[in-house]
Amino acid sequence: MHREYDLFRRVGEKSGQWLYSIIGLPEACDRLAKEAAQSLESEVYVEHVRSNTIVARMNIPAQDLHKSIFFVGFGEPASANVSASLTGMGYTVTVHRNNATAKLVLELPQSYKYFVLGNGPDEPRDDICRFIKRRFPGASVLALNMRHESLAGADLNLPAISIPGRWVAALQGHSSAGSPLLAGSGKRTRRA
């Protein structure tokens, strides 16, 4: 099933200017890349029409990178709620519910500093974590986990029930000075 997307351009502090409606995420990504190449001074982004969530961004201004979060929810119905919570705190959130769509978007030439991986099955979370680390060296990856678990390769691990404000504090603390209390253990483990 194809989903409908809208493509927008944002200039400065203004809200987005609608440019196109597009059917299908691959087509939206292609159009986004073309538009970004033509408008290097303007941020361009794709929004999923039904959920009103941003699914792809390009030309993110450097001063806005610290307020941009890429969230992979692994089918979590709460993905839209996460986006709304973080948006309410002044962040721009790019939301995906699975690895396939996340990887499609992350292959676009862009920059991200912060990634949050929702709770989900081990294999897809390990896979996207490795992908992010290869594609975005130096980015901070926060994994939300069931109680007493951690995700290999993630820089930070927090319980899935943590509030988004705690995620932001952990990510910012890690990227500026490191956070040994929250750092990943290097393998997925159950804590006693």
Q: Summarize pLDDT for 47-78 with one digit per residue, the tens.
A: 999 888 899 999 888 888 888 899 998 876 66
Domain 60-190 has CATH 3.30.1600.10: no
Nearest Cα to 89, choosing from 68, 118, 111?
68
DSSP-assigned states of every residue in 149-184: EE-TT-SEEEETTS-HHHHHHHHHHHHHH--TTTB-
Tell me whether residue 71 is exposed, middle or buried, using C-beta atoms within 10 angstroms of its C-beta: 0 to 12, 13 to 18, 19 or more. Answer: buried
* Fold match flag (1-50 vs 60-190): no
Domain boundaries defined on the chain: 1-50, 60-190
Q: Summarize pLDDT for 132-188 with one digit per residue, the tens.
A: 999 999 899 999 888 678 898 999 898 877 777 788 888 877 766 543 333 333 333
Buried b (16+ CB within 10 A) or exposed e, 129-148: beebbeebeebbbbbbbeee
Q: Tokens 């941003």 identify what position?
A: 54
Domain 1-50 has CATH 3.40.50: no
- Give 61's contacts (C-beta < 8 A, 6+ positions apart): 43
